[in-house]
């Protein structure tokens, strides 16, 4: 792991593969970190010829945690009260572009899951010259009438965080029974547990999770901004996702001209190994669309 100073924060990152290859940046979701990405998943992308950057967003993992920032206040976030909301998705998108600057990377392919999907969408809209292709996975547009969670899934977001490694892992395993996949062949309990152990060992910050939720809520609807995106775009969503309903993915694809939508049957709010044979080729094919458009 390395660290890079980006504006007011320091971001922890890893670079996999060889410099000089096309760069793909993976952006994790809420309560995640670079440890959210399975090494075997990253290796598959490296094997396809990419240099893959994974990093901890602000308030997560080993990156800067804003301990002195405002406490969780969802009502203030909904009002977009910037006296309480410490940062928004715009700031997190600027972090992503700033990390590219720090690493001397001019342009990159962006892939984000959940909150990370929102971040890469915003990065593509705010920094269009830096993005070669875009992939938004199990995410939404910020519209209040799409991508809504079920009542049971919404309760997962406000659940008091358990303490200790075992408590954290057990709680996340319980949460995945609510928000995870419903098709038995997609349910991988061993993979889930190993993932949550990695995330905990790398560093978890419940107060930071709250600020990230506020950032998402305060950022509002991105639909107009998404209409400005012109790079090849892939939207991936499970049709059984109870945390970010599939309508969020459909709205994202509809907002970006030419976007392709891949709906995965039975998939919940996760990216287990069983779907990689479908998702990885689709992500790679989307980057090839960018290369083909440049060659014309």
Query: pLDDT value at position 22?
Result: 97
Strand, helix or coil for residue 172:
helix
Measured CA to CA, the distance from residue 186 to residue 147 in angstroms comes to 21
Output the pTM of the full model: 0.96
Query: pLDDT value at position 84?
Result: 87
**CB burial readout 272-287, b (16+ within 10 A) else e:** bebbeeebeeebbebb
Query: pLDDT value at position 293?
Result: 62
Tens digit of each residue's pLDDT, the chain (296 residues): 899 999 999 999 999 999 899 999 999 999 999 999 999 999 999 999 999 999 999 999 999 999 888 788 888 888 888 888 999 999 999 999 999 999 999 999 999 999 999 999 999 999 999 999 999 999 999 999 999 999 999 999 889 999 999 999 999 999 999 999 999 999 999 999 999 999 999 999 999 999 999 999 999 999 999 999 999 999 999 999 999 999 999 999 999 999 999 999 999 999 999 999 999 999 999 999 866 666 55
Name the residue among 270, 263, 60 with its Cα closest to residue 178: 270
CB within 8 A of 189, min separation 6: which ones? 173
Tell me the domains of the chain and their CATH numbers: 2-290 (3.40.50.1820)
Measured CA to CA, the distance from residue 216 to residue 209 in angstroms comes to 11
Distances from the Cα of 217 to the Cα of 82, 88, 209, angstroms: 12, 8, 13
Query: pLDDT value at position 92?
Result: 98
Strand, helix or coil for residue 142:
coil
Measured CA to CA, the distance from residue 14 to residue 256 in angstroms comes to 30
Query: pLDDT value at position 129?
Result: 97
Query: pLDDT value at position 95?
Result: 98
Strand, helix or coil for residue 24:
strand
For residues 68 and 91, is the Cβ–Cβ distance under 8 A?
Answer: no
Query: pLDDT value at position 294?
Result: 64
Query: pLDDT value at position 290?
Result: 64
Measured CA to CA, the distance from residue 236 to residue 281 in angstroms comes to 12
Phi-psi region of 93 (alpha: psi -120 to 50; beta: other; left: phi over 0): alpha
Distances from the Cα of 186 to the Cα of 44, 82, 252, 273, angstroms: 19, 41, 24, 8
How many residues does this entry show for the chain? Answer: 296
């Amino acid at each position: 792991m390395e660290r890079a100073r980006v504006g007011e924060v320091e971001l922890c990152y890893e670079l996999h593969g060889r410099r000089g290859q096309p760069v793909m940046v993976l952006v994790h979701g809420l309560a995640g970190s670079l440890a959210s990405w399975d090494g075997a998943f990253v290796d598959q992308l490296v094997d396809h010829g990419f240099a893959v950057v994974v990093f901890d967003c602000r308030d997560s993992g080993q990156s800067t945690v804003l301990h002195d920032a405002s406490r969780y206040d969802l009502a203030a976030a909904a009002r977009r009260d910037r006296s309480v909301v410490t940062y928004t998705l715009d700031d997190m998108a600027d972090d992503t572009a700033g990390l590219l600057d720090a690493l001397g990377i001019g342009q990159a392919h962006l892939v984000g899951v959940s909150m990370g999907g929102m971040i890469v969408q915003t990065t593509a809209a705010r920094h269009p010259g830096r993005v070669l292709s875009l992939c938004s996975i199990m995410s939404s547009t910020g519209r209040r009438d799409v991508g809504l969670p079920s009542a049971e899934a919404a309760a997962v977001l406000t659940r008091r965080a358990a303490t200790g490694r075992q408590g954290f892992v057990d709680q996340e395993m319980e949460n995945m029974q609510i928000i995870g996949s419903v098709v038995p062949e997609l349910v991988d309990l061993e993979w889930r547990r190993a993932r949550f152990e990695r995330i905990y060992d790398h560093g978890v910050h419940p107060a930071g999770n709250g600020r990230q939720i506020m950032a998402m809520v305060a950022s509002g609807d991105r639909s107009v901004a998404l209409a400005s995106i012109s790079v090849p775009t892939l939207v991936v969503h499970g049709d059984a996702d109870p945390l970010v309903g599939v309508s969020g993915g459909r709205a994202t694809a509809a907002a970006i001209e030419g976007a392709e939508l891949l709906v995965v049957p039975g998939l919940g709010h996760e990216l287990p190994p069983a779907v990689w044979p479908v998702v990885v080729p689709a992500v790679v094919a989307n980057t090839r669309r960018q290369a083909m458009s440049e060659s014309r």
